[in-house]
Amino acid sequence: MRQQYARRTQVLTSVMGFIALAIIVQMTRIQNSAEAAIFRQQASNYAYELHTFYPDRGEIYDRNGHLFAGNKSVYEVGVDLNIVKDPQAIASAVSVGLDMDYSQVLGDILDPADNVSYVVLADFVEAQKALDLQDLKNALQEQSEAGVLGGLTGLEFKSHPQRSYPENSLGSNIIGFVSREGRGYFGIEEKYDTLLAGNPVQALVPTDPNKAFEIPRVLNGTTLVLTINRDLQASAEKILDESLSTYGADGGSIVIMDPRNGELLAMAVTPRMDLNQFWNYGTIYDKASQFNSAISMPYEPGSVTKILTMAAALDSGSVSPGTTYLDTGSILVGGAIIQNWNQEPWGVQDMTGCLQHSLNVCMATLSMQMGAETFYGYMDNFGFGHLTGVDLAGESAGRLKIPGDADWYPVDLGTNAFGQGVTATPIQIMMAASSIANHGRTVTPHALYAMVRDGRQYDVPAQFAGSPISEKTADTLSGMLAVSLESEGSLALVPGYRVAGKTGTAQIPVNGFYDSTQTNASFIGWGPVDDPQFMIYVWLERPSASIWGSETAAPVFGEMAAKTVILLDIPPDSIRQQLVAK
């Protein structure tokens, strides 16, 4: 009997084992079948959705941490047509809350485009207005017995970022702006658009909120720290605006740079615009070059370029500071007569007197003595006709005509020596002059101080563009320019500080001829002479109170320099030299 039970047990065990084995085989077959792959894919699709994550645009700060450009939340206000119950109520609320036309709003809801289930009523709505509408919707919803009475059911709000400029128009020509499509225009916003915008990331996102940890981390755009000093920028804009009124100028620029490393400390131009209302661009500017004239509008700078002609003459050995010549008031160059600014002779002059009295005849004499090859070789090395590489969008290169060009004439060798017949931007002239202030070494102007990415700061090193003149030439010329200003009692002088500089008065060509009543008045200067820490360029367009740079641009330089030494905390020469001596 026991044997019979044992056999039955063995048979039953064998049957159960066979069934278990069959189940395992079938499960394996199903898991590896095409149908199983489809099922798994469908299950995966239900568990995850493909999303594109857009990073917040990087912020922009001045060198001391003042915010120039950031982001704020705005809203898209729309209607879900599948659930809307009271279009009239929505149209009434939106028209009042967002100051929109009631009939237009109602028409958008009742007569949408074909096959549309969602209608956008307004976008870029200020956060407070959108929140007020949300509060109204919630209040009506509570009173309508779960929406039976309609209320604002279907009114939807979607938050998204928008560029914000807390300083409004301050530094607008440097910063630029971002359109509603997210593209940067002008200045820093355009030059570093890719860095600021960051990189969008596409990823599968779990629909299960318990798996939120799987959502990828998206790095925001790179934050930029500028070389600009916000307080100095504000002062430069204020002084520029007052100067335009005082001297009746059509426009102008004031640029401040550290000649030791090319850091732009301030760049004030006119006109300016409120970056938060960038859509007014077309009513403020006639053309793109007006957005930042300091880098985009080449002009004939006049006598400020005499410092470069003198630098070339000294460096080439054509003259020394004590070289004299007899100024007769005119000179014949290429068949044309060139005269001094006052059409008078100045007698025997040395090279410092040549600069002090800003003698055109002297400069034409020097360029002819050097010869075209040497003169234009130096001008090319100074950067005329070339982009400086400043990191602001929209730079223009200007024009330096040279022998061989179809429109170059022998007289140009004389006129180019004192800044007529050649065009350049203020930033180009500053870059060229930096070789004088910086002991023979040219700096590349730049506005970016550092980049901050993922919590780490990367400083931008200074860049240098060559040495067109020797250190001896540069230091000698700086001293000559300082003596020149002091000898004439220039309005550019700054009490307590020794500065070097040069005025410029250039007649403006009108219909092919120079108009003696219309000028560009300029001044370039730097200081303290023994340790230059700032360089300032002033350009006033068509001043009416006086056509002379010595009476308009020079005093503006003096006022700006006096403010600069305070804001940059530069002690007077006597105190600074005592501190160095200890």
Residue 272's nearest CA partner among 255, 252, 257, 242 is 252
Range list for CATH 3.30.70.2110 in the chain: 71-164
- Pairing label, strands 456-459, 448-453: antiparallel
d(CA 296, CA 291): 8
Task: Compute the Cα dihedral for 17, 18, 19, 23 and give only its sign.
Answer: positive
Query: Has residue 206 got a pLDDT over 80?
Result: no
Per-residue model confidence as pLDDT tens digits over 138-160? 888 766 655 445 678 888 888 88
Per-residue model confidence as pLDDT tens digits over 276-321? 999 999 999 999 999 999 999 999 999 999 999 999 999 999 999 9
Task: Compute the Cα dihedral for 314, 319, 321, 324 and give only its sign.
Answer: negative
Annotate 307-374 with three-state secondary structure. HHHHHHHHHCCCCCCCCEEEECCEEEECCEEEECCCCCCCEEEEHHHHHHCCCHHHHHHHHHHHCHHH
d(CA 227, CA 244): 26
Query: Has residue 349 got a pLDDT over 50?
Result: yes
User: Do you find a cis peptide bond into 206, omega within 30 degrees of 0?
Assistant: no
- What pLDDT, on the 0 to 100 scale, is given for residue 516? 81
d(CA 154, CA 246): 59
What's the CATH code, domain 230-279+286-581? 3.40.710.10
d(CA 191, CA 184): 8
Query: Has residue 539 got a pLDDT over 50?
Result: yes
Per-residue model confidence as pLDDT tens digits over 31-47? 565 555 554 555 455 57
Average pLDDT rounded to a whole number, residues 74-91: 86
d(CA 74, CA 72): 7
**Burial of 412 per CB tally in 10 Å (0-12, 13-18, 19+):** buried
Per-residue model confidence as pLDDT tens digits over 92-145? 888 898 889 888 888 888 888 777 888 888 888 888 998 888 888 888 876 665
- Pairing label, strands 347-350, 201-206: unpaired
- What pLDDT, on the 0 to 100 scale, is given for residue 213? 52
Residue 488's nearest CA partner among 354, 368, 329 is 354
What's the CATH code, domain 71-164? 3.30.70.2110
Could you tell me the pTM of the whole model?
0.84
Range list for CATH 3.40.710.10 in the chain: 230-279+286-581
Residues 481, 273 contacting (CB under 8 angstroms)? no
Residue 520's nearest CA partner among 509, 530, 511 is 509
d(CA 91, CA 473): 75
440-461 b/e with 16+ CB inside 10 Å = b?
A: bbbbbbbbbbebbeeeeeeebe
Report the residue count for the chain.
582
In the chain, the amino acid numbered 279 is W
> How far is the CA of 458 from the CAs of 218, 223, 454, 455, in angstroms?
20, 10, 11, 10
